[in-house]
Amino acid sequence: MMKLLIVFLCLACSFVFGQENSFVNIKGYAPAYIGQKIQVKEIEDYISMHTSTIASSTINSDSTFTMTFSIAETQKVLLTIENNQSFLYIQPGGNYTIYFPQKDKRTPYRPAGNQVEVTFYDLDSNDINYKVLGFNRWMDNFLALNYADALRNPVLFNKNLDSFKLATEKYYLKDTGQYIFDYVRFTIANTIDNIQQAANRNRYEKHDFYIKHQPVLYRNDAYMDYFKKFYKGMMTTIPMEVNNRVYLGLLKSSPTVIMNALGLEFTLINMRIREMVMVQLLSELYYSPEYPQTNILTVLDSVKSNALFSANKLIATNIINRLTEVVNGGKAPQFALETLKGEKKGLINYKGSYLYLHFYDPTSEKNKIELPILKNLYQKYNKEVTFLTICKESDYRKNKNNIDQLDWDVAIVPDENSIFNNYRVVSNPYYILIDSYSYIVQAPALGPQPNNLYETIDKVFFELQKALNQEKH
């Protein structure tokens, strides 16, 4: 009995330690963003580049913030505040103290958003960021000393490159973290090995050296960057016979036929990689008029449900969302709703006129402030633009705010209505402008109040009104 108790306690301690060791702590300073939200976004997959928020915090009045969350493996994440964005690498058990600037010192401020670089305080030498920054400096020094030889003396360049590779491999083999070893290998592959020079490896040599015997590293950004570049534009790379078979498989909406066709290509002998490449290939073909979009989505939907490898199901799911998301120039998603007047309407009922979708929260003061401005816009432009206000049922029950007295269509819809997801409504107020043929003009559209660039929808409506009046005369 005592032995069993000891074993149980050991297992319990091991579990607790493992759980604690998986936590990441990020704290820091963001004096330009007091009162705003900072988010940590995980890159779910590097083909769609879809992200999801795994932690968030509000910047305190003294400019500090703290976030604690759990992860399973080392990875690159995005840090966002408003439209500004940075990145860092995180590892289980990592502790980070950072400074998040409004912009980098050497770049102008852009109201629409800035890519910034965080500053680390007291970064541990065993941390992945320390190792990545150290290697990047090492590689920059190599390029500064040897880049000129790539064209002038390629034999010498390759000799020095081989020496550099051996030195980095020897150094990082001592490291206990596999992530940095793979990062180093594929960063070299992405940059130095892709420099065009006479002694370059051919495509098949690169496949055998970097891909053939390498497990797929879904979370390693350097590996995935190399993967995407290597397999980009496969329809122009594969032989014509294989190309024709892929096209035939697409016409049949058959992932099996496409997979079998791609299997004839030497660089796609690995089934896991072949399935990933098929998904990437279909996403590239989606906007080409030569290939049927409906069939592409059908094949991707099949991969989403029946992929040979579970990680590829997520990629297919995210790619479908990317391809069908609301984008300028894309077809507007269909919807069905009932207005406060009891009329059942869908997108087709608004065809023939520009439609200004307004997603509204009557419980929000910011939303309420915009209503009088919207009424003025409606009075000026209602002959050219149809307005439609959409409100969630739960918000409407809390505060009706007289929206039933608006002069245009108002619809109260269930919170779970697909319109919010289909139009990617993330906050209120939210606006979308759709043309008379049901194509997206702006998503999100400008609102009645000025944005960071002092732009409003009024100017868009004015130009639209002017153009339509010219057509009449």
As for how many domains the chain has, the answer is 4
Residue range 229-284, pLDDT digits in tens: 999 999 999 999 999 999 999 999 999 999 999 999 999 999 999 999 999 999 99
Return all residues near 283 (Cβ < 8 A) that are at least 6 apart.
Answer: 47, 48, 300, 319, 322, 323
Question: Is the confidence at residue 198, as pLDDT, over 80?
Answer: no
Residue range 107-139, pLDDT digits in tens: 776 655 788 999 999 999 999 999 999 999 999
Residue range 84-100, pLDDT digits in tens: 899 999 999 999 999 99
Residue range 324-333, pLDDT digits in tens: 777 777 788 8
Pair 448, 359 in one domain: yes
Pair 266, 314 in one domain: yes
When pLDDT is cut at 50, 70 and 90, the band that residue 1 belongs to is: very low
Within a domain: residue 12?
no
Task: Report the 10 Å Cβ neighbour count for 208.
Answer: 13
Within a domain: residue 86?
yes
Report, as an integer, the average pLDDT of 434-459: 88
pTM score: 0.74
Pair 205, 249 in one domain: no
Question: Is the confidence at residue 13, as pLDDT, over 60?
Answer: no
Pair 348, 464 in one domain: yes
Pair 173, 65 in one domain: no
Tell whether the torsion through CA atoms of 281, 285, 291 and 295 is positive or negative: positive
| Structural domain boundaries, residue 456 | 336-472
Burial of 376 (0-12, 13-18, 19+ CB in 10 A): exposed
Within a domain: residue 5?
no
Report, as an integer, the average pLDDT of 212-223: 95
Pair 198, 138 in one domain: yes
Pair 406, 357 in one domain: yes
Within a domain: residue 329?
no
Residue range 181-197, pLDDT digits in tens: 999 999 999 888 776 55
Report, as an integer, the average pLDDT of 21-39: 93
Q: For the CA atoms of 89, 90, 94, 97, what is the dihedral angle to 10 degrees?
A: 50
Residue range 275-322, pLDDT digits in tens: 999 999 999 998 788 899 889 999 999 999 999 999 999 999 999 988
Q: Last residue of some domain: 298, 324, 350?
A: 324
**CA dist list (Å): 140 to 136, 187, 393:** 6, 12, 57
Contact between 41 and 77 under an 8 Å Cβ cutoff? The reply is: yes
| pLDDT at residue 148, rounded to an integer | 82
Q: For the CA atoms of 189, 195, 199, 201, what is the dihedral angle to 10 degrees?
A: 40
Within a domain: residue 175?
yes
Within a domain: residue 139?
yes
The lowest-confidence range among 14-18, 104-108, 383-387 is 14-18
Pair 150, 84 in one domain: no
For the domain that residue 348 is a member of, what is the CATH number?
3.40.30.10
When pLDDT is cut at 50, 70 and 90, the band that residue 11 belongs to is: very low
Pair 342, 359 in one domain: yes
User: Between 68 and 190, where is the model more confident?
Assistant: 68
Q: Last residue of some domain: 230, 247, 263?
A: 230
| pLDDT at residue 7, rounded to an integer | 40
Within a domain: residue 266?
yes
Within a domain: residue 331?
no
Q: Last residue of some domain: 178, 201, 230?
A: 230
Pair 341, 464 in one domain: yes
Pair 238, 216 in one domain: no
Pair 28, 136 in one domain: no
